[in-house]
């Protein structure tokens, strides 16, 4: 759900209803019934100054997006928010909530948390938030909108957050988050807010970076059409470093403090045939955004059309042309996923193979459709369908993105 752009085509909407994931399927990670010595509820609590090697959380597919668990407040409450590398603000629906979308789980109640502190409107954190204002109580009010028309309005606050860590000990830290009291948009009842993982100062990765001294995180997203009980991971700190055989790295083009993760896509190969991003113009740096909040990959129309034509040439299957529900998208009839061809995304200095499980999705039984689309508005996105089964590391300090083909269901 990028601030810049977030589209959903009809077949993606059809697909979302097919793969609704129950919140009960989430791996709770660790027990929150015990009061750890590092918990704000403990008389021995103090802010951690020597953190573990890293913290992580589970991520599960959810109706075309991914939900990440964030344990918030004292006593701790599990919040499941949409993972979004295309925005910054971390927020959750908070009670009282007037005009909010329906939520299955109870909303976060700030008055019940011992560590909740609303920020004053003259604070540095408030001034760093675009769209802030001053309430009658001199608190930092905000209105934060997204490219698909979704909006959250509420109060910026400081709150304790608890993570699982690589050594088994829970890690407690303070973060700034939006306590949303009026929220609307393209949400479903599993969504409890949005976890902004962009490059801005209020994103979760930037805030956790102050704890670990490095603004780095990695994600491993499971494919949508796999066992709904499977979950991927998002890691922060030193343990989020992507290394080993098969790792490739491309430079980030984003400026310091800029939200979107922009990289340069030179083209995509279908099998051994290279299809260039631009056929007649000089290639622009930072021509595509890596966005975990958008399902499909959006490419320039000419590039997309050439890609589809080459895929038709190399496929042994006959495209579906008699189903009005599918429109003009490239779809095939198959009981299992399409057997090739394998695509390779050629980022600057990094060739990333894309298997059919990353490039084709089933909008309905027995049919698989190409999970990319053309657009003429100039905003191009490498979406989360294509990001599945790749360990992707974002390093804001070195300004790089690394890719490693990985079975994320086994993480």
Does residue 315 fall inside a structural domain?
A: yes
Task: Fill in the DSSP letter of residue 255.
Answer: P
The set of catalytic residues is: 84, 291
Does residue 205 share a domain with residue 265? no
Query: What is the arithmetic mean of pLDDT over 201-229?
Result: 87
Does residue 4 fall inside a structural domain?
A: no
Does residue 203 share a domain with residue 265? no
Does residue 213 share a domain with residue 292? no
What is d(CA 247, CA 12) in angstroms, rounded to the nearest whole number?
Answer: 30
Does residue 197 share a domain with residue 273? no
Does residue 2 fall inside a structural domain?
A: no
pLDDT by residue (tens digit) across 266-308?
A: 999 999 999 999 977 788 999 999 999 999 999 999 999 999 9
Structure pTM? Answer: 0.85
Q: What is the pLDDT of residue 213?
A: 84
Spatial CA neighbour of 194 closest among 142, 263, 238 = 142
Does residue 311 share a domain with residue 279? yes
Last residue of a domain, one of 192, 221, 239: 239
Does residue 12 fall inside a structural domain?
A: no
Confidence bin at 368 (pLDDT 50/70/90): very high
pLDDT by residue (tens digit) across 32-45?
A: 333 333 334 443 33
Query: What is the arithmetic mean of pLDDT over 339-351?
Result: 94
Q: What is the pLDDT of residue 170?
A: 85
pLDDT by residue (tens digit) across 98-124?
A: 889 999 999 999 999 999 999 999 999
Query: What is the arithmetic mean of pLDDT over 326-335?
Result: 90
Last residue of a domain, one of 239, 264, 288: 239
Query: What is the arithmetic mean of pLDDT over 73-102?
Result: 94
Does residue 5 fall inside a structural domain?
A: no
Q: DSSP letters of 190-228?
A: T--EEEE-SSSTTSHHHHHHHHHSS-EEEEEPPPTTS-T
Q: Give the pairing of strands 77-84 and 193-196.
A: parallel
- Are the CB atoms for 107 and 94 separated by under 8 Å? yes
- Are the CB atoms for 356 and 338 separated by under 8 Å? yes
Give 28 or 400, the one with higher predicted confidence: 400
Q: Is the pLDDT of residue 371 over 80?
A: yes
**Structural domains counted in the chain:** 2
Domain that holds residue 343: 244-410
Q: Give the lowest-confidence range in 33-42, 109-118, 181-190, 363-372.
A: 33-42
Does residue 253 fall inside a structural domain?
A: yes
β partners of residue 132 = 142
Last residue of a domain, one of 211, 239, 267: 239
Does residue 303 share a domain with residue 271? yes
Does residue 13 fall inside a structural domain?
A: no
Give 3 or 362, the one with higher predicted confidence: 362
Percent of the chain with pLDDT over 70: 86
The domain spanning residue 181 has which CATH number? 2.40.70.10
Confidence bin at 327 (pLDDT 50/70/90): confident
Does residue 276 fall inside a structural domain?
A: yes
CB-neighbour burial class of residue 41 (10 A; exposed 0-12, middle 13-18, buried 19+): middle
Does residue 71 share a domain with residue 182? yes
Give 404 or 409, the one with higher predicted confidence: 404
Does residue 232 share a domain with residue 132? yes
What is d(CA 387, CA 283) in angstroms, rounded to the nearest whole number?
Answer: 23
Confidence bin at 163 (pLDDT 50/70/90): confident
Does residue 333 share a domain with residue 201? no
Does residue 211 share a domain with residue 149? yes
Does residue 80 share a domain with residue 39? yes
DSSP alpha helix (H) spans, 271-335: 301-314
Q: What is the pLDDT of residue 360?
A: 94
Q: What is the pLDDT of residue 83?
A: 95
Does residue 313 share a domain with residue 296? yes
Q: CB neighbours of 282 closer than 8 A, spacing ≥ 6?
A: none
Q: Is the pLDDT of residue 216 over 80?
A: yes
């Amino acid at each position: 759900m990028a601030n810049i752009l977030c589209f959903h085509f009809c077949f993606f909407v059809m697909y979302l209803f097919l793969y609704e994931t129950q919140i009960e399927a989430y791996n709770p990670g660790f027990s929150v019934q015990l009061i750890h010595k590092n918990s704000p509820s403990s008389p021995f609590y103090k802010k951690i100054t020597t953190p573990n090697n890293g913290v992580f959380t589970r991520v599960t597919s959810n109706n075309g997006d991914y939900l990440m668990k964030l344990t918030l407040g004292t006593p701790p409450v599990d919040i499941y928010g949409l993972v979004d590398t295309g925005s910054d603000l971390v927020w959750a629906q908070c009670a009282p909530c007037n005009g909010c979308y329906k939520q299955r789980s109870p909303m976060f109640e700030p008055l019940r948390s011992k560590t909740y502190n609303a920020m004053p409107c003259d604070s540095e954190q408030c001034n760093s938030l675009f769209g802030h204002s001053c309430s009658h109580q001199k608190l930092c009010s905000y209105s934060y909108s997204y490219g698909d028309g979704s909006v959250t309005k509420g109060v910026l606050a400081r709150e304790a957050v608890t993570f699982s860590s690589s050594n088994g000990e829970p890690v407690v830290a303070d973060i700034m988050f939006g306590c949303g009291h009026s929220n609307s948009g393209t949400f479903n009842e599993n969504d409890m807010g949005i976890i902004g993982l962009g490059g801005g100062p209020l994103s979760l990765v930037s805030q956790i970076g102050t704890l670990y001294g490095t603004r780095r995180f990695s994600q491993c997203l499971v494919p949508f059409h796999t066992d709904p009980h499977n979950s991927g991971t998002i890691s922060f700190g030193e343990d989020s470093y992507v290394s080993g055989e098969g790792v490739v790295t491309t430079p980030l083009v984003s400026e310091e403090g800029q939200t979107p993760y922009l990289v340069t896509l030179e083209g995509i190969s279908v099998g051994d045939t290279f299809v260039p991003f631009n056929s007649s113009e000089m290639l622009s740096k930072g021509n595509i955004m890596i966005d975990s909040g958008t399902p499909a990959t959006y490419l320039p129309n000419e590039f997309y059309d050439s890609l589809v034509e080459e895929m038709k040439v190399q496929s042994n299957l006959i495209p579906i042309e008699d189903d009005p529900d599918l429109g003009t998208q490239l779809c095939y009839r198959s009981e299992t996923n399409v057997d090739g061809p394998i695509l390779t995304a050629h980022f600057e200095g990094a060739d990333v193979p894309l298997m059919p499980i990353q490039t084709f999705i089933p909008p309905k039984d027995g049919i698989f459709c190409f999970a990319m689309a053309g657009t003429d508005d100039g905003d191009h996105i490498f979406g989360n369908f294509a990001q599945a089964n790749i360990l992707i590391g974002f390093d804001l300090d070195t300004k790089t993105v690394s890719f490693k083909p990985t079975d994320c269901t086994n993480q």
